[in-house]
Each structure stands twice: as C-alpha cells, then as structure tokens.
C-alpha cells in the first residue's frame, strides 16, 4: 500500500513536470512567431512605403520654390530702387519743332552735345545743359572757355564736329541753317535755335530743357528772364540809332527786326532804321549814309565796336566826324558804347543784361 502511494505521488509529480515543461514550450513557440509576424509586416510596408521617391516629388510641388520669389519681391524696393526722374523721362520719346521748322525726335536724352554758336551755347547752359564742343566765340558762361572749339561759328570744322560723334548738334538758325543738312547726312541729330524776339529766347530755352530732361531748370530761367524784363518796363519812346562800323568805316544801323534792335524795342524806343533793307556783313543791319544819319537825328546813339581793345571805340570816333557834331544825341551826351557780346555776338538769355544796361545808360545821361 505504501509502495502504491509512493508510485502515485511520483506519477503525479512527473505529470506536473511534463505539464510545466509543455507549457513553457508552448509559450516559447507562441512568442517566437510573434516577433516574426509583427516584424514581417513592418518590413513589407517599408518597401511599399518606398514612396520615398514620392517625397521629393511632394517637396517639389510644395511652396518651397515660390518662397524665393516672395522674398525677392518684398526686397525689390531696396535692391532695385525706382529710377530717377531723368531716366524715366528719357524712356519716353520727346518730339520738338525747332527754329527751322524741323520736327526732331529724341528717344533718349542726349549726353554729348556740340554747341556751335554763342546763342546755342548760352541757351543750352541756361537750360541746365553742358557741351562737349563750342565755337570760338562762345565764351559764356566762363566754364565753356575750357572746351575744345571748332573754329568760327560761320565756318566751323565739320571734321572735328562729326569726328566727335555728338548725340546732338545745336546751331543758330539765322546764320547756320546751311549746316543742318550736312550733319543730318552724317547721321547726327540737329536742332536749330534763334533769338529774334523775347519769345524766341524763352521758347528755345524751354525746348532745350525738354530735350535734355531739365524742364524745371529751363522754366526757372525763363521765368527769371520774363520777370526781370517786366520790371524794367517799355516806357522810353526816344528816337534811337544802334550803329556798328566795318573795317572800311562804313556805318550800319540795326533794324528793329534784328536782335540788337530788339534790345531797344524792349524799352519802347523809336528805332530810326525801321523800314530799311538788310545790307552789308551784319545780318539785320542796314547801311546808313551820313545823310541818312543826319536826317534820322536820334536822341540816343548806341554804338558797337566789333574789334577788341585797344582798337578805338566807335562811341568816341563818331564824335570826330564833323557833320555829326550837331546830332541831338552827341550834343546832349547820349552816346552809349555797348558790349559787342551782349548786343551783337551772343543773342540769347543775356538779353536781360543788355536791356538793363541800356536802360541804365540812357537814364544816366
């Protein structure tokens, strides 16, 4: 009986051992596949999720490329400031009608300008411009005297002018009209100016200002001229002759239509050369015989001496001509020597200085 009991206990212990062993074995079997099952599916999506190639595509479509333009746009006012007014004006074509009636178009503001008459030079500088070439008689303003000159305004060096390839050549209409075709044939733009009236002077300054993009400067100069002339008045009705002499001592009187005549007309003076025809070497002047001067018998004589000092001044030498001793102007001391540049050689913006000079000179006598 005891042996049977021991056998039963041993059998139960063995069964328990086997049961425990089997349980551990089963748990190992179940745990082993688990990693396999959970990791296998994880690897499968990886290749499938190898939509790694699609990530760049997504990034390309993403707003990244648009970001630089946005930042560039916001920075543009700093890195690319708006062009100055002068440049923006140059972008629009400028069309002018010059003193010869020619229509001239400018796509750009001319930078290299040849000014080959004193009238052209003084109008250009009054409008705020500068020149690269001048004629020999252009000496105002002072800074132009350092520029290369092309010779006489009546016979300038075409080779020098054309060789410098200016963007614009400014000529004087009355004495240089014949040059316009030569420059045009060489491919140069030409604009003619004139100063036969106050409106010519102011109008041509405005025209040049428009061409060179300096309208405000030109208009300021025009306003100054007009206001100063207005303040002088035109209330001097005395008879006047404005005389010049050539190398043969012939005397010529400025007609009212000339620039010199304009100076006296601006004061309201009665020019006794009215109605006489042009004659002699000076445009706008009429040859006056001794008899014609005696008949005119002006209250005021204005004389111009073309030759530089120390050549005798006409204002003194005319007093030595016996028949003229009885002229009213000589008897009353109303003989005025005028500056050749202001009254003859340089018609233009300095008409104000010429009129003011004459007003003061005849008032002082």
Looking up residue 153, the CATH number of its domain turns out to be 3.40.50.1980
Whether residue 224 is found in the same domain as residue 109: yes
Q: Measured between alpha carbons, how far is 116 from 156 in angstroms, rounded to an integer?
A: 8
- The pLDDT, as a whole number, for residue 234 is 86
Burial class of residue 82, CB neighbours in 10 A (0-12, 13-18, 19+): exposed
In the structure encoding, which two tokens stand for residue 295, read together? 């008949």
Distance between alpha carbon 365 and the CA centroid of its chain, in Å? 44
Domain membership of residue 58 (yes or no) is: no
Read off the tokens for 236: 């001097």
Q: Does the residue 61 lie in any domain?
A: no
How many domains does the structure of the chain reveal? Answer: 2
Q: Which of 206, 231, 256 is the last residue of a domain?
A: 231
Using CB atoms within 10 Å of the CB of residue 86, give its burial: 0 to 12 exposed, 13 to 18 middle, 19+ buried: exposed
Residues written for the chain: 365
Q: Are residues 240 and 338 in the same domain?
A: yes
- Phi-psi bin for 285: left (phi > 0), alpha (psi -120 to 50), beta? beta
φ/ψ of residue 264, rounded to 5: -70, -40
Tell me the pairing of strands 239-245 and 300-304.
parallel
Mean pLDDT of 106-132: 98
Q: Give me the domain span that covers residue 120.
A: 89-231
Structural domain ending residue among the three candidates 189, 215, 231: 231
Closest CA to 138 of 159, 162, 113, 163: 113
The pLDDT tens digits of the residues spanning 166-217 come to: 999 999 999 999 999 999 999 999 999 999 999 999 999 999 999 999 999 9
Structure confidence at residue 199 (pLDDT): 96
CA 151 to CA 145: how far, in whole Å? 13
Q: Is the same domain home to 214 and 271?
A: no
**Start-to-end Cα distance in the chain:** 177
Convert the pLDDT of each residue in 242-256 to its tens digit.
999 988 899 999 999
- Do 244 and 163 belong together in one domain? no
Provide the pLDDT for residue 77. 34
Name the 3-class secondary structure at 244.
strand
Where a domain ends, among 214, 231, 248?
A: 231
Place 92 in a pLDDT band, splitting at 50, 70 and 90: confident
- At residue 247, the pLDDT reads 85
% residues pLDDT > 70 (the chain): 75
Residue 118 near residue 346, CB atoms below 8 Å: yes
Q: Are residues 133 and 265 both part of a single domain?
A: no
Is residue 43 in a domain? no
Q: Is the pLDDT of residue 47 over 60?
A: no
CB 361 within 8 A of CB 303: no
Q: Which of the four pLDDT bands, split at 50, 70 and 90, describes residue 18?
A: very low
Same domain, 243 and 166: no
Q: Is residue 33 part of a domain?
A: no
Cα separation, 245 vs 304, in Å, equals 8
Residue 307 has pLDDT above 80, yes or no: yes
Tell whether 189 and 315 lie within a shared domain.
no
Give the residue from 236, 353, 239, 227 showing the smallest Cα distance to 299: 239
CA 166 to each of CA 149, 163, 188, 279, 347: distance values in angstroms, whole numbers, following the listed order: 14, 8, 7, 35, 24
The pair of three-digit structure tokens given for residue 273, joined into one six-digit string: 């050369």
Is residue 120 domain-resident?
A: yes
Instruction: Flag the least confident range among 58-72, 122-136, 173-187, 199-213.
Output: 58-72
Give the separation between CA 301 and CA 291, rounded to whole angstroms.
16
Task: Please tell me the number of Cα atoms within 13 Å of 277 on its side-chain side.
Answer: 1
When mean pLDDT is compared across 70-84, 102-116, 171-185, the lowest value belongs to 70-84
8 A C-beta contact, residue 278 and residue 285: yes
> Is it the case that residue 59 has pLDDT exceeding 50?
no
Pick from 334, 184, 212, 325: nearest CA to 269: 334
d(CA 249, CA 314): 10
**Does the residue 152 lie in any domain?**
yes
80 vs 69: CA distance, rounded Å: 14
Same domain, 191 and 100: yes
Cα dihedral angle (91, 93, 98, 104), rounded to 10 degrees? Answer: 120
0.75 cut: is pTM over it? no
* Calpha distance 118→158 (Å, rounded): 17
- 14 domain residue, yes or no: no
Model confidence at 55, pLDDT cuts 50, 70, 90, reads very low
pLDDT score recorded for residue 364: 58
């Amino acid at each position: 009986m005891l042996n049977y009991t021991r056998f039963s206990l041993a059998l139960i212990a063995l069964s328990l051992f086997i049961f425990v062993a089997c349980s551990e074995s089963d748990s190992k079997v179940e745990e082993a596949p688990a990693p396999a099952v959970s990791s296998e599916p994880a690897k499968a999506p990886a290749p499938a999720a190898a939509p790694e190639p699609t990530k760049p595509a997504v990034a390309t479509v993403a707003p990244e490329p648009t970001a630089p333009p946005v930042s560039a746009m916001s920075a543009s006012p700093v890195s690319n400031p708006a062009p100055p007014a002068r440049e923006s004006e140059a972008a629009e074509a400028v069309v002018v009608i010059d003193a010869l009636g020619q229509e001239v178009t400018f796509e750009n503001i001319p930078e290299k300008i040849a000014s080959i008459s004193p009238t052209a030079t003084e109008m250009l500088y009054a409008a705020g411009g500068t020149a690269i070439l001048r004629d020999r008689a252009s000496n105002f303003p002072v800074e132009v005297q350092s520029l290369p000159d092309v010779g006489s305004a009546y016979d300038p060096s075409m080779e020098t002018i054309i060789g410098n390839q200016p963007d614009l050549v400014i000529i004087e209409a009355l004495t240089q009209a014949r040059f316009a075709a030569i420059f045009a044939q060489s491919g140069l733009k030409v604009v003619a100016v004139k100063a036969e009236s106050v409106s010519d002077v102011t109008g041509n300054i405005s025209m040049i200002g428009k061409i060179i993009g300096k309208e405000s400067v030109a208009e300021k100069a025009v306003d100054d001229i007009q206001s100063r002339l207005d303040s002088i008045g035109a209330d001097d009705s005395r008879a006047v002759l404005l005389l010049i002499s050539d190398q043969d001592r012939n005397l010529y009187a400025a007609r009212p239509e000339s620039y010199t005549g304009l100076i006296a007309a601006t004061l309201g003076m009665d020019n006794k050369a009215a109605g006489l025809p042009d004659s002699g070497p000076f445009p706008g002047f009429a040859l006056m015989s001794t008899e014609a001067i005696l008949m005119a018998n002006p209250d005021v004589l204005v004389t111009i001496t073309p030759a530089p000092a120390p050549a005798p001044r006409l204002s003194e030498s005319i007093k030595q001509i016996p028949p003229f001793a009885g002229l009213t102007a000589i008897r009353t001391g109303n003989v005025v020597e005028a500056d050749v540049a202001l009254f003859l050689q340089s018609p233009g913006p300095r008409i104000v200085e010429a009129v003011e000079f004459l007003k003061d000179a005849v008032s002082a006598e």
